Amino acid sequence: MSRKGYSPDNAACEGFFGRLKTELFYPQTWLSTTIEQFVEALDSYIRWYNEKRIKISLGFRSPIEHRRSLGLAA
């Protein structure tokens, strides 16, 4: 078990939420957006992030393409 506040444990989450804010949240104005519209935009972003976003560390493939190449995803 790691101790509370041990930063390497949070690195993946911190990186994801940092990119989420930079790529989705900050470029738009959300004042006239309903909660349903925000949830839809967030869901769309997460799907794009997991299925289409190219990552250099995965050999210029999306995470889902990488999992498929390893035989981990259908």
Gap between the Cα atoms of 33 and 24, Å rounded: 13
Please determine, for residue 41, whether its predicted confidence score (pLDDT) is greater than 90: yes
pTM strictly above 0.75: no
Q: What is the token pair recorded at 4? A: 């509370």
Of the two residues 66 and 12, the one the predictor is more confident about is 66
Give me the residue spans of the domains in the chain.
Answer: 10-69
Sequence-ordered list of residues with C-beta below 8 angstroms from that of 50, at least 6 positions apart, any chain: 62, 63, 64
Give me the mean pLDDT over the 35-64 stretch. 92
Average pLDDT of the chain? 87
Token match 């939420």: residue? 17
